[in-house]
Amino acid sequence: MQTHPSPNISNDGTSTAKPEQKKHSLRLSPFDVLMLLDERPGYPMCFFIETHLSGDFSIQRLRAAVETAIERHPRLRSHTQHNEQGWLWTPSDKLPQVVQLQCIEDRESQAIAFRPFNIRQEPGIRFIVIPEGNQQWSIVLQVHHSVCDGLAALEFLGDIWSLYHGNEPTEFQTHSRRKNIQTDSDNDDNPNTKEDHQHARQTIAFATFRPSSITSSSNTKKIPNSRKPFQSFTLPTTLVKSLRQRASQSGATTNDIIVAASILTIHEWNRRQGNAGKRIRITMPVSLRPPRDRQPASNQIGYAFLDRHPSQLHDPQAVITSIAEASRWIQHSGAAGMFLVVLGIFLKRTWLLRLITRLPTCFSTAVVSNIGNVQSRMRANVPKADGCTNPGGLIITNITAVPPVRPGTALSVGITAYCGQLTITTMIDSSQLAPDDGIELTALLQSQIEGFAI
């Protein structure tokens, strides 16, 4: 069984970049450094975007599109290095790999294809092409989270499909950023003072809350899954409409309901394992991009946190309402950006940040990320038919995504919308949960979400 990487292969199997590509050096942001420090065996810090295709696919056209698109996104063709200036992105002499698997059932080949990156020697993105049947394909974009966030990766994917189709990618656009009302207050008479106090209360609550990890149902040795490290289920259009109706009646959004379902699923799972008293913290990535911005790929997200005690989880409708209220406050207050402010302080003492990331504690129970409508996120210059994106004669039937799990966080949940469908993708930390745990947790989450739609 063989895999086929990109053309222009170097001795270690990775394609090489052109000499003119070596012309930039960019400093890593505090968030980039955090993702880099989290990288260790068992925590590859990669998120995955999987595109399902139907039609006559050409891997040569894909490789050519990747090689052209990468010119617009310097960080995607860089590796990291550390010197007296700190952590820097440095142009790599290697291009991202495009690996084609020849047999979907070959688990050994899949394990090799989905291996972690050596981000200090190679670019932190990779394409894995998997044949699923007669003219059916799955293409997985694997991205190290120090390189860019999921929204930026989707825009890069939009560039690729534009080029694959033979069109130019959508132009970059930068809009003026709104001032943060939290940093513009000059005196206590300012009406934003109430929000400042709310930030203080939330910070204290965050610091004093001790989240718990998800309990494993198995006492046996946990063996990492050698196939794709994630799994998905798709809600049909009729169920999505019912879910949106429930959200509207509750004064919430579909995202609020899925976050509430994730919390209740973890609570129910722990109850079944005899640990109903465990406290749950959900991390929610929040985009910090101004509306309509489109720039070269980078990380432009903050984190918001939702903490719940078991005593707050008896009434599912009350959980939805409380999540909706918290989400509105997070969006209005800019609370997710405060995470980056604190992270920047720690980065001044990199050794301290490294120590904190190595502590054997649970920082968050799970992460839930909603990418939203993937077609509007990609902004691909490609025609559509019956609502589906059609690059170069192909039909994209669905796109799914899931964020990485940080050390101590046992579960990640990704939400994508495409052509009226909602797809939920999950990934577990294989050092904390067994593969069967991940399957059962995902089934329980699906049941919980579908129950809200009835």
- Residues 54, 136: contact at Cβ < 8 Å? yes
Q: What pLDDT was estimated at residue 431?
A: 82
pTM of the predicted model, to two decimals?
Answer: 0.86
Name the strand (E) or helix (H) holding 285: strand 280-287
Q: Which of 135-149, 355-369, 389-403, 416-430 has the lowest mean pLDDT?
A: 355-369
Q: Which of 157-161, 170-174, 269-273, 346-350 has the lowest mean pLDDT?
A: 346-350
Cα 12 to chain centroid distance, Å, stands at: 28
Q: What does the block give as tokens for 2? A: 């063989």
Tell me the C-alpha distance between 285 and 364, whole Å: 12
- Residues 260, 319: contact at Cβ < 8 Å? yes
Interval 212-229 mean pLDDT:
69
Tell me the C-alpha distance between 239 and 245, whole Å: 10
As a whole-number percent, the residues of the chain with pLDDT over 90 amount to 56
pLDDT for 441 beyond 60: yes
Set out the domains of the chain in order of their start, with CATH numbers: 3-165 (3.30.559.10), 195-371+405-453 (3.30.559.30)
Give the residue among 58, 177, 230, 162 at the shortest CA–CA distance from 375: 162
Interval 41-50 mean pLDDT:
84
Name the strand (E) or helix (H) holding 148: none
Q: What pLDDT was estimated at residue 331?
A: 81
pLDDT in tens, 61-98: 999 999 999 999 999 999 999 888 788 999 998 999 99
Q: Which of 32-36, 48-52, 124-128 has the lowest mean pLDDT?
A: 32-36
Q: What does the block give as tokens for 266? A: 């973890």
Interval 297-316 mean pLDDT:
93
Q: What pLDDT was estimated at residue 105?
A: 64
pLDDT for 115 beyond 80: yes
pLDDT for 234 beyond 60: yes
How many beta carbons lie within 10 A of that of residue 309, not counting itself? Answer: 11
Tell me the C-alpha distance between 374 and 255, whole Å: 15
Strand partners of residue 398: 52
Tell me the C-alpha distance between 303 and 306, whole Å: 10
Name residue, tokens 């019956």: 386
pLDDT for 193 beyond 80: no
Give the residue among 368, 298, 376, 357 at the shortest CA–CA distance from 330: 368
- Residues 122, 346: contact at Cβ < 8 Å? no
pLDDT for 160 beyond 50: yes
Q: What is the dihedral of CA 306, 309, 311, 313, to 10 degrees?
A: 40
Stronger pLDDT, 351 or 432, i.e. the higher one: 432
Tell me the C-alpha distance between 369 and 377, whole Å: 14
How many beta carbons lie within 10 A of that of residue 293, not counting itself? Answer: 16
Tell me the C-alpha distance between 230 and 141, whole Å: 13
Q: Which of 175-184, 320-329, 344-353, 424-433 has the lowest mean pLDDT?
A: 175-184
Q: What pLDDT was estimated at residue 318?
A: 96
Q: What pLDDT was estimated at residue 339?
A: 72
- Residues 158, 378: contact at Cβ < 8 Å? yes
380 Cβ contact partners less than 8 Å away, ≥ 6 residues apart:
157, 158, 159, 161, 162, 165, 169, 170, 389, 391
Tell me the C-alpha distance between 75 and 81, whole Å: 13
